[in-house]
Amino acid sequence: MVRPIVKYGAEVLHQPAQPVEEITGEVVQLARDMVETMYRAPGIGLAAPQVGVPLRIFVVDITLGHDPKGLITLVNPEWVEREGLQVEEEGCLSVPGFSASVARPQRVVVKGLDLEGREQTYEGQGLLARAFQHEMDHLDGKVYLDRLRGIRRSLLVRRIHKRIKAGTW
């Protein structure tokens, strides 16, 4: 089932998500819904808070569904390593219509549980590293705008608030 994606300003996007205590049928269904929602959007990643659920789960697929092995679902993910630097243009399904250059690690290693409760570890470089960091930020109550500074951030946030007030957000 495709779920609605919550937008910037929603409280669930601005507070840390809670750990998943047990991988139940509800958690598995949530993850499946997230995958369907991500592909429909279309996007390369989606965190549970983006569909209004404050749990530490994300899905990532930088192949946009073109490679079945490209789909990664992680429950309670944690950082193992982060290194290097890349600065690229980035957008977000919860901040539609906006993008900005964001500094992210060039290489990361993340671990977490799959939907069967087995620990999995993934290394990502480039776009995959960026996607992992982006989704982990969502689990920590941050959006990419929180990584911007100065006038760029102020302008984007002001434009979003203008849309919120106008009822077009």
CA torsion through residues 90, 93, 94, 95, sign? positive
Write down the catalytic residue from 26, 81, 88, 135. Answer: 135
Condensed to tens digits (0 to 9), the pLDDT of residues 105-130 reads: 999 999 999 999 999 999 999 999 99
* Domains of the chain by residue range: 11-166
**How much is the pTM?**
0.96
pLDDT tens-digit series, residues 12-66: 999 999 999 999 999 999 999 999 999 999 999 999 999 999 999 999 999 999 9
* Mean pLDDT on 93-107: 97
CB 43 within 8 A of CB 5: no
Q: What is the CATH number of domain 11-166?
A: 3.90.45.10
pLDDT in tens, 139-159: 999 999 999 999 999 999 999
Tell me whether residue 130 is exposed, middle or buried, using C-beta atoms within 10 angstroms of its C-beta: 0 to 12, 13 to 18, 19 or more. Answer: buried
User: Residue 137: its pLDDT value, please?
Assistant: 98
What gap in Å lies between CA 126 and CA 61, rounded to an integer? 13
3-state secondary structure of 146: helix
The pLDDT value recorded for residue 55 is 98
Mean pLDDT of the chain: 97
The answer to whether 123 is a known catalytic residue is no
